[in-house]
Structure 1
């Protein structure tokens, strides 16, 4: 149904750095040849007429931008990348009036500097979307080509599915919020070249979808809200969305990791509630399992294993919980005496079981380390490092997909035969990921949540919230 995207494979240099970050155990797999990541923005005037084009290409750590525009007044024009991929009218917060292309929002500001500055300023000091100016000749046309390291087509500074705006006046590179550049005269959405994906939009204004699971027998995706606890059922074919279970009941105000077991029951990790909830196939809570009372619980993810048990991670307490087939929850492994050391922030997060039934693989978000836990001996071994901001995991055979939330990519790791070592072989930003949290497999495709959890405590999320489906790579 979907076309296979061109992969943004790791370059040899990047792959080398990843290996140096902690690969243990050899695998007979070389990183694929690098394929340039490219994007295009078709520039339109407020009437919708095409009045230019901008192209973007990833070149190492930089992004090469080429802009060609026409129909502008002679002189210099400020250019900026704006936060939202919307070339629609919207409110300008500086004047509180509706202006052309106001829907693109403010300047792209990945490090929340809240400061307009020069194109050479570090992102901690100025907007990541601050660009050089476009010089327009007497005939009303202008061209510019430059390379910037402030923004990128992938990663934390990624600009895919954001907007390029050309303004009416020159940029003074100091006045907030936009350098006194005046009206927005041209706008184009930065769209990934040669990629087809499918979005599943969600109806709620505060959904923040964290977990996702797929019931192949029903053809239904489940996703849960980190903010409200509501769990949605999505028809994977039609995209129709219904409420599987409303959040807030039984003290369940958050839903993080989700899984579907062999009986069609839906399991939900309750985050700071410290609870694991089990739902019948029709959405009725059949069990609410409370982990031990503590001042700082954070039940994050879970997985049904081939041994019949369900294993649960906690991101703030160094323990792996286990739920037995009779729905009894207990602490299974105290991590205090293992190589896994808990620190500030989110610790163990995503968890999967190996197909051979011998081990669990768990992701430690705050260190970027992937761990193997033997189900028989409970021995813990580091598989690899370098998976910064690694969140949810999906294991298909020996291929491990990692949602790396703040890095805004899905990573592909090839594991060796006994799952004791791995190699990072590709990173895929899709059409612009927004804090991806977890993954599920649907046939030959993958589905990732665009959780936007970085905006849960502040900031304006892009709506509608959505899940994105794309081919395995």
Structure 2
């Protein structure tokens, strides 16, 4: 459909009671899903000298967010108010001016709909930035207050603003001029931090790492993560966070490292994506073997799982087959063409896990959101549930399944039936603001998730340093 005609819309506290005390209606709102109770966040608003001169609060309200802004020390009048892409209130280059400016580190406007367009606070996110908010009106004494609810933003899901920033500008917003409505310099900034939640980050040294896979070696206390961009594999001390290069990309043709798993012998298995290869590394990172799937168009080995009988099962996201490795030989174990799993455009089967006895495999189909159970004895396939679109990596803990849902920016918790043949979505957890989470690993009683930012791999500016995030199981 054609894009809606942009309107000039100037709204402040005095003339926009509908927007500032009610709901800012905008397209692209998400359906209701289970989420943590009392989900809220706060941003301390600082001036360029670092002094706190106000605060903004965010409370989840149905499909939207209720925002309250209080600030002091500003010039009277109307001020542009926006949510920006990155959680950094540091100096940085403003692309519009091509020079370093205060709070330039916050990046451009948050644009979950990829509209690449500045618009008003009532525009749907596919037509305008999600971060385009109602203006802040400052009174003669230099104080300003605004309260509004908007469906353009959320604290969870694709429109999630956790660990992004809110910025107040010096002038009014014309709600039409790209990139920021001619609203002037950035004069207040605050990082939007979730209230009452603790998580630990493991930063990575490579500014182009785009971490995809993650695995944990319990005997060494080491977390492994692999790069989707260059195939590097890093080892992270789970206690200290010290990081080293475990295996350099390019070894044995490994140009990418997607799903990772550690087997019972401590060997690291690596799914090689479009290379069609499976790499096996020793405990010290030395290559043991490179196993190639048969040549065919468009391979994409995405994830793998060792089982108790010594087999390793591998998903292929573009070819409708599940591969199996036995005795260092790879074979097409299950042709999916005759099963209920129907392949379509995009990424199909992705993350895979196995029950402790190896009887069942569970795999998520990213493009349809369907979770499947595969019987390793009979090869029977059963749909467990739907509704997990963008499901990527999986982690099985008893009858609980955790699903990293990359573009949705959440980890979903699913309660499985006793036979793993049914599932119920219990919660969608955004942590402290996930950036395209891809895979999961258990570390003692915690979960580690990669923040892969793969949506920026083919273009765009990722937030660096790349990181993994560790949090308590929920």
TM-score normalised per structure 1 = 0.93
Alignment-derived partner of residue 154 in structure 2? 152
1:307-332: CA deviations, max 9, x gaps? 210000000000000001x2111110
Structure 1 position 257, deviation (Å): 0.1
Q: Would you say how many aligned residue pairs link Structure 1 and Structure 2?
A: 445
1:303, 1:353 within 8 Å by CA — same for their partners in 2?
A: yes
Q: Which of 64, 75, 92 is the aligned partner of 2:66?
A: 64
Q: Which of 97, 100, 106 is the aligned partner of 1:98?
A: 100
Alignment-derived partner of residue 220 in structure 2? 218
* In structure 2, distance between residues paired with 1:111 and 1:459: 14
Alignment-derived partner of residue 22 in structure 2? none
The answer to whether the aligner puts 1:258 opposite 2:260 as a matched pair is: yes
Secondary structure of 2:252's aligned partner: helix
Structure 1 position 111, deviation (Å): 1.7
1:225, 1:231 within 8 Å by CA — same for their partners in 2?
A: yes
Alignment-derived partner of residue 26 in structure 1? none
The answer to whether the aligner puts 1:277 opposite 2:279 as a matched pair is: yes
Alignment-derived partner of residue 187 in structure 2? 185
Provide the alpha-carbon RMSD of the alignment. Answer: 1.3
Structure 2: gaps (5+ residues): 1-30
* In structure 1, distance between residues paired with 2:123 and 2:168: 20
Q: Which of 321, 324, 344 is the aligned partner of 1:322?
A: 324
Alignment-derived partner of residue 471 in structure 1? 472
Structure 1 position 17, deviation (Å): 7.6
* In structure 1, distance between residues paired with 2:407 and 2:85: 16
2:214, 2:450 within 8 Å by CA — same for their partners in 1?
A: yes
* In structure 2, distance between residues paired with 1:357 and 1:182: 61
Query: Superposition pairs for residues 292-331 of structure 1, below 5 Å?
Result: 292-324=294-326, 326-331=327-332
Alignment-derived partner of residue 20 in structure 2? none
* In structure 2, distance between residues paired with 1:367 and 1:172: 40
1:191, 1:431 within 8 Å by CA — same for their partners in 2?
A: yes
Alignment-derived partner of residue 124 in structure 2? 122
Q: Which runs of 4+ in 1 moved over 2 A?
A: none
Structure 1 position 356, deviation (Å): 3.1
* In structure 1, distance between residues paired with 2:363 and 2:127: 36
Alignment-derived partner of residue 175 in structure 1? 177
* Gap change, CA 1:374 and 1:17, over 3 Å in 2: farther
The answer to whether the aligner puts 1:458 opposite 2:449 as a matched pair is: no
Higher RCO, 1 vs 2 (CA within 8 Å, ≥6 residues apart): 1
1:78, 1:167 within 8 Å by CA — same for their partners in 2?
A: yes
2:32, 2:63 within 8 Å by CA — same for their partners in 1?
A: no
2:44, 2:52 within 8 Å by CA — same for their partners in 1?
A: yes
TM-score normalised per structure 2 = 0.92
Secondary structure of 1:250's aligned partner: helix
Structure 1: gaps (5+ residues): 1-15, 19-30
Alignment-derived partner of residue 135 in structure 1? 137
1:334-370: CA deviations, max 9, x gaps? 0000000000000000000012321100110000000
* In structure 1, distance between residues paired with 2:336 and 2:89: 50
Structure 1 position 232, deviation (Å): 0.5
* In structure 2, distance between residues paired with 1:339 and 1:427: 27
Secondary structure of 1:161's aligned partner: coil
1:36, 1:59 within 8 Å by CA — same for their partners in 2?
A: no
